[in-house]
């Protein structure tokens, strides 16, 4: 059942379009999907305050994920994070472990009070209203969400889980359990692991928080959401709700077989087995470049790792990637020297993208360790100005 996708698909038959977007609904190549790129019309509902097919699609997504209420976003998980934090403004937040830069951006935009902690021990003497944590991380590693939910409850706090990279968990019993069952707020970036156009994201909330969160979304989000993105979300949810279990059996079995066939390729042990991370000390970037020469593009690479997001749509190519990795012996090229930054104060949040976790926040000083990581990944930094790191 795909109410939003069906409504947009039927509109392809219209004879004349005198509305936005102004490409006219026809095209080839890059514009092949233009016929389905519409705006708020009599049949297509309004994401700012949905009452029709968008609301129906959101409710079906809530059912599929086991959530009380679900909200759509087309500006990525960042919009979902900022909406959640704006709806909770006035509260004190605890950011546990590595958090995406969108959390710090929201804190700065909304003048939120927060404390950072590496582990629960650092939070024992702190008071807070909302505990925020990332699970899974960029490399498929999860935390004990049920235990954190119990901890937050004991503290009298809400639990917000950035599960952006785990939108597929709900569709297979062989994948980690989704945080939706335990957390008060859960963020999903559907486009990261499901067949959804870039920007498709979800925010799952408790029923008693729905009205405030919906109002926050209308404040934070663009007034021009993409119907292509929303329709793909509706379609992907339906497809994986019906066939996901079977598809992921095939995917996970294939991944296991590839690992068995190429034991010399070291892989990071993690919880989400569809996130395959090849470990190559001192040769991660070189290996990724080698794979690209053979037409294989990984999600990301750093000095020691190459990360793959494996789905039903690309799993057949994983064997070739491992075959090439097993034979490759290259090392990384010399990196840019940034040692002059040690001890200086950063003017901006600076880190490596992806995964988008700040290594140094604005106003903090660069350490030898943070500079080492930045040097190893100088080709994909965020927080720079004209490609340069700015200090105060």
Average pLDDT value over all residues in the chain: 96
- Let me know whether 136 and 203 are in one domain: yes
Q: Is 254 a domain residue?
A: no
Residue 147 has pLDDT above 80, yes or no: yes
Q: Is 316 a domain residue?
A: yes
Distance, in Å, from the CA atom of 85 to the CA atom of 94, rounded to the nearest integer, reads 12
Residue 278 has pLDDT above 80, yes or no: yes
- Let me know whether 91 and 39 are in one domain: yes
Domain that holds residue 357: 339-382
pLDDT of 53-107, one tens digit each? Answer: 999 999 999 999 999 999 999 999 999 999 999 999 999 999 999 999 999 999 9
In this structure, what CATH number is given to the domain that contains residue 270? 3.90.1150.10
- Let me know whether 64 and 13 are in one domain: yes
Distance, in Å, from the CA atom of 289 to the CA atom of 301, rounded to the nearest integer, reads 9
Last residue within a domain, chosen from 280, 306, 327: 327
Q: Is 139 a domain residue?
A: yes
Name residue 382's beta-bridge partners: 351
- Let me know whether 323 and 344 are in one domain: no
What is the mean predicted confidence (pLDDT) over 175-192? 98
Q: How far is CA 362 from CA 85, 271, 293, 356, 380, in A?
A: 20, 32, 37, 15, 18
- Let me know whether 167 and 219 are in one domain: yes
Distance, in Å, from the CA atom of 323 to the CA atom of 318, rounded to the nearest integer, reads 9
- Let me know whether 370 and 227 are in one domain: no
14 band by pLDDT with thresholds 50, 70 and 90: confident
- Let me know whether 87 and 166 are in one domain: yes
Predicted local distance difference test score (pLDDT) of residue 71: 98
Residue 162 has pLDDT above 90, yes or no: yes
Three-state SS at 220: helix
- Let me know whether 183 and 274 are in one domain: no
Q: Is 212 a domain residue?
A: yes
15 band by pLDDT with thresholds 50, 70 and 90: confident
In this structure, what CATH number is given to the domain that contains residue 162? 3.40.640.10
pLDDT of 22-50, one tens digit each? Answer: 998 888 899 999 999 999 999 999 999 99
DSSP assignment of 95-131, as one string? EES---HHHHHHHHHTT-EEEEESSGGGGTT---SEE
What is the mean predicted confidence (pLDDT) over 264-268? 98
- Let me know whether 187 and 301 are in one domain: no
153 band by pLDDT with thresholds 50, 70 and 90: very high
Predicted local distance difference test score (pLDDT) of residue 108: 96
Residue 150 has pLDDT above 90, yes or no: yes
Q: What residues contact residue 144 under an 8 Å CB cut-off, 6+ apart?
A: none
Taking Cα atoms as reference points, which of 244, 239, 163, 230 lies closest to residue 197? Answer: 230
Predicted local distance difference test score (pLDDT) of residue 27: 86
Q: Is 78 a domain residue?
A: yes
Structural domains of the chain, count: 3
- Is the entire prediction scored with pTM above 0.75? yes
Q: Give me the long-range contacts of 10-13 (CB less than 8 A, separation at least 24).
A: 11/35, 11/36, 11/38, 11/41, 11/43, 11/44, 12/36
pLDDT of 315-334, one tens digit each? Answer: 999 999 999 999 999 999 87
Residue 146 has pLDDT above 90, yes or no: yes
Last residue within a domain, chosen from 327, 355, 372: 327
Q: What residues contact residue 327 under an 8 Å CB cut-off, 6+ apart?
A: none
Rg, C-alpha atoms of the chain = 22
Residue 267 has pLDDT above 90, yes or no: yes
Pairing of strands 130-134, 92-96: parallel
Residue 181 has pLDDT above 80, yes or no: yes
Distance, in Å, from the CA atom of 309 to the CA atom of 73, rounded to the nearest integer, reads 22
- Let me know whether 26 and 96 are in one domain: yes
- Let me know whether 317 and 365 are in one domain: no
pLDDT of 113-145, one tens digit each? Answer: 999 999 999 999 999 999 999 999 999 999 999
Q: Is 8 a domain residue?
A: yes
Q: Is 318 a domain residue?
A: yes
251 band by pLDDT with thresholds 50, 70 and 90: very high
Q: Is 256 a domain residue?
A: no
Residue 51 has pLDDT above 80, yes or no: yes
Predicted local distance difference test score (pLDDT) of residue 152: 97
């Amino acid at each position: 059942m795909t109410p939003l996708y069906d409504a947009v698909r039927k509109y392809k038959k219209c004879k004349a379009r005198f509305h936005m977007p102004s490409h006219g609904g026809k095209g080839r190549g890059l514009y092949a999907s233009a016929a389905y790129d519409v705006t708020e019309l009599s049949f297509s509902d309004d994401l700012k305050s949905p009452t029709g097919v968008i609301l129906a699609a959101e409710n079906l997504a809530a059912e599929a994920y086991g959530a009380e209420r679900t909200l759509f976003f087309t500006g990525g998980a960042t919009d979902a994070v900022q909406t959640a934090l704006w709806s909770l403004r006035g509260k004190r937040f605890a950011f546990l472990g590595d958090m995406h830069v969108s959390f710090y951006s929201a804190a700065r935009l909304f003048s939120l009070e927060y404390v950072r902690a590496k582990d629960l021990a650092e939070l024992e003497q702190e008071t807070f209203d909302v505990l925020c944590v990332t699970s899974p991380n960029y490399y498929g590693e999860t935390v004990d969400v049920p235990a954190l939910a119990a901890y937050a409850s004991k503290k009298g706090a809400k639990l917000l889980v950035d599960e952006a990279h785990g939108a597929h968990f709900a569709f297979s019993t062989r994948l980690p359990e989704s945080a939706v069952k335990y957390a008060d707020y859960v963020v999903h970036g559907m486009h990261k692991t499901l067949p959804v156009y870039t920007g498709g994201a979800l925010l799952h909330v408790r029923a008693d928080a729905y009205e405030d969160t919906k109002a926050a979304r209308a404040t934070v989000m663009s007034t021009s959401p993409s119907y292509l993105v929303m329709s793909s979300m509706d379609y992907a949810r339906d497809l994986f709700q019906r066939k996901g279990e079977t598809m992921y059996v095939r995917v996970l079995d294939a991944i296991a077989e590839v690992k068995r066939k190429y034991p010399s390729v070291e892989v990071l042990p993690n919880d989400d087995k569809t996130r395959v991370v090849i470990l190559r000390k001192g040769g991660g970037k070189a290996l990724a470049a080698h794979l690209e020469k053979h037409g294989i593009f990984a999600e990301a690479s750093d000095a020691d790792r190459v990360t793959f997001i494996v789905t039903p749509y690309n799993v057949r190519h994983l064997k070739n990637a491992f075959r090439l990795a097993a034979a490759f012996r290259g090392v990384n090229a010399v990196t840019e020297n940034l040692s002059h930054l040690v001890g200086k104060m950063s003017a901006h949040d600076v880190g490596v993208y992806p995964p988008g976790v700040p290594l140094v926040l604005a106003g903090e000083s660069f350490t030898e360790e943070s500079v080492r990581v930045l040097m190893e990944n100088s080709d994909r930094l965020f927080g720079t100005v004209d490609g340069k790191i700015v200090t105060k």
